[in-house]
Chains A and B, each alone.
Chain A
């Protein structure tokens, strides 16, 4: 019996998102066309925009659809970073790290949260700046002190871009209250089909496009909109209720209690679905493969296109070097069955026993 426990890589498709995407696939029109079919497609597009806006407390006109989280992050950093010093949290996702180029990394504390003192000192000198910060970390689920970071940025006149990809749908995210210029989200992490994301803009903010194209998205993102994926994103955003995600915390806690192993970021507030847990003496690679062969889909470290399991730079940034090669990530999907903990613990115990036998 397989168990999908890699939601932070991608969430299983939500039925509402599937239905919306399929319906959109059958629409013949281009949302930019003048005629009735174009208007029908446009209606679906705008409905999705309104649903995304509603989930995060934004205005519909401030939602720019993109191809996904990577593009949304890249767009914000390219536009806001122009003429500014770019700072990033030390545990940011590669989508942000690589878009930010040779940015200054602000360290995190041992529990994985941004070091606010270090942020304050970094902003104290050096001119106009942009801070890129993830709301919650993909590997550990650790939630950064976003409001405090925003206040520090505001005090120094720095801009704030948030990567909300992992947090979206798993915790309440009221974008206007976060004090950021922009926030990136990704459709498939909400349970939509892969291929769409969005950048939310502070009211009144206008950003230069990465791709000018035919001026779609009010000139902020060219290219015909990927309507099926976007319709799915709208439906998933409506369905991804953080209150429902809270149930996952019980499953996660049961797993962590059953394992009795070191958990990265255990002392910090975390997403309800994520657990980064180490088995000392066993490589993360061996664990991921052994659990996969037992039907448990977990992951470790950063994904690479080659498929290899690499060491986790996130845990190294937290000063957990010794655990970096020994920790796996369990991330519960929105539809995790109620017997998840019991089944996972049984598979994990079997793996542990065999590793102990092999010495």
Chain B
């Protein structure tokens, strides 16, 4: 079968290409050029292509498969980087990897693969695609430490039908590296990628400041009654539940409870009061037929978190999913909420703001 492999230049997708080629498939390597690497590392005159693109090309060459570099800079800028900054400007904590999977990878690459007569698109994600009675299902990877199913929640059922995740059954990363070495791939020992790819410096705040200056401006830190407790240096530095960087005198056990973008305020509250009993979720992607009645599931409210038991209720009319954890959780608007039944992903969406930011206190009496 003719399969397109999304090759990032890392060890995972390289092994995917190698394994599929070894199995005798007609493999086509595709590497997305998503941003100007030279500009991202702020090195004048550096090539727009990062080392990863060269690595992907070397791997494809070694495997003897055709390989193409796809210029998706403008698409990525609009769909992912722009959304990232906008999300911060709305007082959210964005999750750009989901947006990238949702747009550049599983919309655009699937379309290209179909145009090229491919039967499937394979990626190096750690997740499993299982043929169920009702069609393909998305499951957690065999290796819980590597599982990336959370980041794939926005993959539609149709896209899932076309997708392949050959690493989903790998017991661990070491096994993947052994495969890479066995296949003679130079990337076998390459370090894992870290952080958000388009901010290699890790300074998100600087990028947000450039794209959405208003989100980077200083503002007030207030408590839930609206009393001003201090100043912050830009909303993009904060997320719900955060204790660091508030600079409050004595640090009275206060944490970020909400980000009030409209007034550029960080709302703080005692740590114990941050968890919420109800999380509204929008832009929900269903990987099963949505149940009409409230149902039990386990949910992750951020990427690095153990799923916890919840009751969820789908309101088809408003397109909202209301998730009620058995025990209140810290949830940050903009992050994903993904519902599981055991290993299976049932659905996922983006968390919306929960609480009314602040009771607008009357001007505090002097």
Contacts and interface: CB of A to CB of B under 8 A. Distances in A.
B291 interface: no
B218 to A, nearest CB: 39
Given A285-B71, A289-B68, A307 B114 contact: no
B225 interface: no
Contact of A292 (B53, B66, B71, B111): B66
A293 interface: yes
A297 B331 CA distance: 52
A331 B208 CA distance: 45
B144 to A, nearest CB: 36
Which of A282, A289, A308 has the most chain B CB within a 10 Å cutoff? A308
B47 A307 contact: no
Interface string B16-51: 000000000000100001000000000000011100
B305 interface: no
Interface string B58-97: 0000000011111100000000000000000000000000
B115 interface: yes
Contact of B33 (A290, A292, A306): A306
A305 interface: yes
A325 to B, nearest CB: 10
A358 interface: yes
Given A285-B71, A292-B66, A293-B28, A308 B115 contact: no
Given A293-B28, A358-B111, A308 B69 contact: yes
Contacts of A293: 28, 66, 116-117
Interface in B105-159: 111-112, 114-117
Contacts of B66: 292-293
A133 to B, nearest CB: 27
B57 interface: yes
A92 to B, nearest CB: 21
Interface residues of A, number: 17
A259 interface: no
Contacts of B115: 282, 286, 290, 354-355, 358
B60 to A, nearest CB: 10
Contacts of B33: 306, 308
Interface in A298-324: 304-310
B114 A358 contact: yes
A310 B116 contact: no
B48 to A, nearest CB: 6
A213 B210 CA distance: 47
27 contacts: A285-B68, A286-B115, A286-B116, A289-B28, A289-B68, A289-B116, A290-B116, A292-B66, A293-B28, A293-B116, A304-B49, A305-B47, A306-B33, A306-B48, A306-B69, A307-B49, A307-B67, A307-B68, A307-B69, A308-B49, A308-B71, A309-B71, A354-B115, A354-B117, A355-B115, A358-B111, A358-B114
Interface of B: 28, 33, 47-49, 53, 57, 66-71, 111-112, 114-117
Interface of A: 282, 285-286, 289-290, 292-293, 304-310, 354-355, 358
